[in-house]
Amino acid sequence: MGYQITEACKGCTLCAQKCPVGAITGNKKEMHFISERLCVECGVCGRYCPSASILDGLGQPCVRILPKNMPKATLFDPDNCNGCEYCVNICPFGCLSIQADPSASGAIGICLVDPKDCVGCGFCQQVCHKEAIRVMAPTELAESRGELVATATARS
């Protein structure tokens, strides 16, 4: 069972705007629908829905996440990024780019993320075979970076 929109939908169109694969259709102020054929079950629609009218694949209501807490792509491990552009090519919102990095040995460049356009779909993380990019909530990212700093300090 895929994601579904319930009759509580107000037709705000936010889910359709944020869906990375265009699986959601509907007119403004009318109930929207999710195409089971197109939906990749990334959960973006449910995280943005202000009326909690989206059910996940298990039939449970999705929980809205406030924009300031929304998971975003981040270059988690820059040393692992080889500039392959897989993440850039798969991102449906164009929020990733490769910038030349003269300090990177053997790499074409390094991935840059524009967080304002990222919806947190996770496609970039799925294709990054180097595990350099991750989709994380801001608090999770801060905790992870704190752990990395603590680990690096302990090793020094």
**Which tens digit of pLDDT belongs to each residue from 15-25?**
999 999 999 99
Read off the pLDDT of residues 11-61 as tens digits, 9 standing for 90 and up.
Answer: 999 999 999 999 999 999 999 999 999 999 999 999 999 999 999 999 999
Spatial contact of 44 and 91, defined as CB atoms under 8 Å apart? no
**How far is the C-alpha of 41 from the C-alpha of 138, rounded, in Å?**
22
Model pLDDT, residue 102: 67
Q: What's the mean per-residue pLDDT of the chain?
A: 88
pLDDT at 155 (0 to 100) = 45
Residue 55 contacts residue 3 (beta carbons within 8 Å): yes
Fold of 1-64: Alpha-Beta Plaits (3.30.70)
**pTM of the entire structure?**
0.77
Q: Do domains 1-64 and 68-155 have the same CATH topology?
A: yes
Domain boundaries, the chain: 1-64, 68-155
CATH of 68-155, one of 3.40.50.2300, 3.90.930.12, 2.60.40.10, 3.30.70.20: 3.30.70.20
Beta bridge mates, 24 = 34
